[in-house]
Amino acid sequence: MTRRIGIKDVAREAGVSAATVSLVLNDRSSHRIPAVTQERVRRVAAEIGYAPNTLARGLRTRQTRTIGFVSDRIATTPYAVRMIEAAQDAARANGHLLFLVNTGGDPELEREAIATLQAQQVDGFVYACMWHRAVDVPPTLPTGSVLLDARPVEGDFPAVVPDDRGGAVAAVQELVDAGHTRIAYVDIDEDPAPLASGLRLAGYLEVLERAGITPDPALHVRGESDAAGGREAASRVLELPADRRPTALFCFNDRIAMGAYAAARHHGMEIPTDLSVVGYDDQQLIAAELDPPLTTVALPHAEMGRWAVEVLLGARDRPSAEEGPVLMPCPLIRRDSVGPPPTRQQPGRRRA
């Protein structure tokens, strides 16, 4: 490979010193260099195709304009990927590059990743999870790192997580507003329960209470987090006697909602005529493709990803320390799976 062209080459061609080139190319306005000189330097630099060596610069300035992005997985859903894309876009917008490392959640690998990244002199770390979790932050994670889709079990780190409770409120309120009073929560059955499960439950209960509806424990069911589990769990409430049967389902996620669709079909109910359904996650491959398209709550992955790097780079104010993680709003996405409750006496009909 031929020698890379450096600042000296520019200096020689432009008839100035290397220092001047550096000054010009970095817009050091403190040293008012005459416009003509600047112009000449820039022209020469462009002509001979000069590009700074950021290693050398970083060595000197102790700033690399790179950030370490360590996450458990890259993504499990197509939407979570937005988190990374948005983070990368925000990094670029601020003149930074992202080192991506996924550790599979292995603490040993996390250690190693952090060490490697520190050796690279990254300017900061984003520590990301692909589900809203409470995490034991790796002890070697430097102060000032920011957590993405994760809240620290302990330690004082800026963190951003989805407002799961608020999202649930929006979802259930949508159902209440449509006139429903018997609303089931088809929860996820996982141990330990994900944070989102409890938060969404809280939102669900909050709306019921505000609407003066007494929660019926029989309407809170749990199933495996997939279509089969959702179908099974939804079936349980759909088989309740007519007077206790829900007219609407708030599902923990879209996959469960997908199962709920199957259960409804199996019970001869049509959506949204006989049964309204709201999901969560807005997984494009599911929510939009279900028949009818599913009303659901979107996770603000992109917003969170951007937030994290902007806070890290100081492009956005750090949240005041002791206020807990920032809650990013989860917008309700209205599609066609919510309608008014059916008029009495005709649930469970087969084709007319």
Partner DNA sequence: TTGAAAGCGCTAACAG
Partner DNA sequence: CTGTTAGCGCTTTCAA
- Tell me how crowded residue 158 is: count the other CB atoms within 10 A of its CB: 22
Q: Would you state the structure tokens that stand for residue 264, as one six-digit string?
A: 């409804």
Binding mask 259-298 for its own copies (x = CB under 8 A): ---x--------------------x-xx-xxxx-------
Which residues between 166 and 225 bind DNA (CB under 7 A)? Answer: none
Q: Is 92 in the site for DNA (CB under 7 A)?
A: no
The terminus-to-terminus CA distance of the chain in angstroms comes to 78
Q: Is 31 in the site for DNA (CB under 7 A)?
A: yes
In Å, what is the CA distance from 118 to each residue of 103, 112, 124, 315?
A: 16, 10, 9, 22
d(CA 318, CA 143): 13
Which residues between 37 and 56 bind DNA (CB under 7 A)? Answer: 37, 50, 52-53, 56
Q: Is 59 in the site for its own copies (CB under 8 A)?
A: yes
Stretch that binds its own copies, among 97-105, 145-153, 188-196, 200-208 (CB under 8 A): 97-105
Spatial CA neighbour of 249 closest among 226, 211, 287, 221: 221
In Å, what is the CA distance from 248 to each residue of 279, 294, 328, 341?
A: 11, 13, 26, 8
C-beta of 52 vs 342, nearer to DNA: 52
Q: Is 344 in the site for DNA (CB under 7 A)?
A: no
Q: Is 77 in the site for its own copies (CB under 8 A)?
A: yes
Q: What is the DSSP string of 265-320?
A: HHTT--TTTT-EEE-SB--HHHHTTSSSPPBEEB--HHHHHHHHHHHHTTSSPPPP
If phi over 0 gives left and psi between -120 and 50 gives alpha, with beta otherwise, what is residue 102?
A: beta
Q: What is the largest CA-CA distance in the chain?
A: 92
Q: Is 55 in the site for its own copies (CB under 8 A)?
A: yes
Q: Is 20 in the site for DNA (CB under 7 A)?
A: yes
C-beta of 56 vs 315, nearer to DNA: 56
* Buried b or exposed e, range 128-140, using 16+ CB within 10 angstroms: bbbbbbbbebbee
Q: Is 23 in the site for DNA (CB under 7 A)?
A: yes
C-beta of 27 vs 209, nearer to DNA: 27
d(CA 346, CA 114): 61
Q: Is 18 in the site for DNA (CB under 7 A)?
A: yes
Q: Least distance (Å) from its own copies to the CB of residue 22?
A: 15
Q: Is 76 in the site for its own copies (CB under 8 A)?
A: yes
99 binds, among DNA, its own copies, none (CB under 5 to 8 A by kind): its own copies
C-beta of 169 vs 302, nearer to its own copies: 302
C-beta of 3 vs 351, nearer to DNA: 3
Give strand pairing partners of 133: 150
Q: Which residues bind its own copies (CB under 8 A)?
A: 51-56, 58-59, 64, 66, 69, 73-78, 81, 84-85, 88-89, 92, 97-102, 115-121, 226-228, 231, 255, 258, 262, 283, 285-286, 288-291
Q: Which residues bind DNA (CB under 7 A)?
A: 3-4, 6-8, 15-20, 22-23, 25-26, 28, 31-34, 37, 50, 52-53, 56-57, 59-61
